[in-house]
Amino acid sequence: MIKLFEDFESDEEKRKEAADAIQKVYSILEKITFLKAPIVNLSVNKQRKPMPALYVPGAQIDEKYNNLSLFITVYEKNPGLKNSAAITSENNYAIVVSIPNVSFTMMTLEPELYFKTRSSYFYHEFIHYLDYLRFEGKPHKNKVNQKYYKRNNIKITNKNRKDLLPLYFNDPLEYNAFSQAAFQMIITQLKKRKKDIKNILTDFSMFWKFLTQIPSDAVREIFDKDNGMFSYLNDNYKRKFLKRVYSLYIGLREKLLGKEKS
């Protein structure tokens, strides 16, 4: 199983282990193909009508993911599914990734292309799946926010969603999934800026400025001033997140610029 981590460590061995874990997760995207993927009717819940979706078994990625099912569908106001979702049961786990602003027929012509445009949502849900394996199928029952909602009979609506964001982002599983999905997009964007890498990695303040300007939903969900995760983290998680980002910065400097002192 891919090792997940709650914190980057400061020593070089632990930092390399953490970086390797991230790279293994990101390489999974390259193993997913929708060639010959069957079209199935997907029922997300009782309130929504079944919708067409392409289906890929998790064993296509790796045999150890044989209880995982991956679906790609399109987002429509009714009965669509926005962004992505995970559907769990005692022995099975499904990740549903939804593509907006396109018909299902059009999406099936180039599913890999459309799927990669939503890769950050897939990574987020896949991190949840790895936690699902770590907790032997029970992390969704252990989530802090879901316990709180159930105990206080709270239902999330558009009206109260913002009030519940501190609870949501400080949930350890959500914190982990949001952070790692964002790191994937940071690395992707950095590769696109090869000419600017040396300037971006000059010092940590330049790297932080680069992060806050990346045009990616996964990164905006972290750094957006009004609704981003970082704004809602408690002091403990802010320290952990800054430690993760700084360790990522040091690791990238070593890999891309050589072992110069920062």
pLDDT tens digits for range 191-215: 888 888 889 998 899 999 998 888 7
| Backbone φ, ψ for residue 161 (5° rounding) | -55, -45
The string of DSSP codes covering 35-61 is: TTPPEEEE---TTS--EEEEEEEGGGT
For residue 244, give every residue at least 6 positions away whose Cβ sits within 8 Å of its Cβ, in sequence order, or none. Answer: 7, 8, 179, 183
pLDDT of residue 81: 52
Three-class secondary structure of residue 69 per DSSP:
strand
Taking the whole predicted model, whether its pTM rises above 0.85 is answered as: no
- Alpha-carbon torsion, ordered 35, 41, 43, 48, to 10 deg: 120
pLDDT tens digits for range 65-107: 899 999 998 876 544 455 677 777 667 888 988 888 888 999 9
pLDDT tens digits for range 244-256: 899 889 988 888 7
